[in-house]
């Protein structure tokens, strides 16, 4: 799904909210796989699987 949308919502500029990307991710069938990819490959920027950079860091610290 995100391939048709482009990367802009998933990499918001500093000070902008990732809300649009998170909304898109909520209805995506590949959300879990996307998040797993980001965690496995240490993606540090953007929204992946519905989580922001900070949310992924928190998730990794908790595990």
Helix crossing, 19-26 with 31-40: angle to 10°?
120
Is 9 labeled as ligand-binding?
A: no
Q: Is 21 annotated as a binding residue?
A: no
DSSP letter for 16, please: -
Report whether 2 belongs to an annotated binding site: yes
Query: Which helix or strand (DSSP H or E) is residue 58 part of?
Result: helix 53-62
43 labelled ligand-binding: no
The binding site for [4Fe-4S] cluster comprises: 2, 25, 28, 34
The binding site comprises: 2, 25, 28, 34
């Amino acid at each position: 799904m995100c391939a048709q949308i482009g990367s802009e919502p998933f990499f918001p500029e500093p000070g902008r909210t990732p809300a649009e990307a998170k909304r898109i991710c909520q209805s995506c069938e590949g959300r879990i796989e996307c998040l797993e990819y980001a965690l496995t490959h240490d993606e540090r920027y953007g929204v992946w699987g519905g989580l922001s950079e900070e949310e992924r860091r928190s998730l990794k610290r908790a595990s």
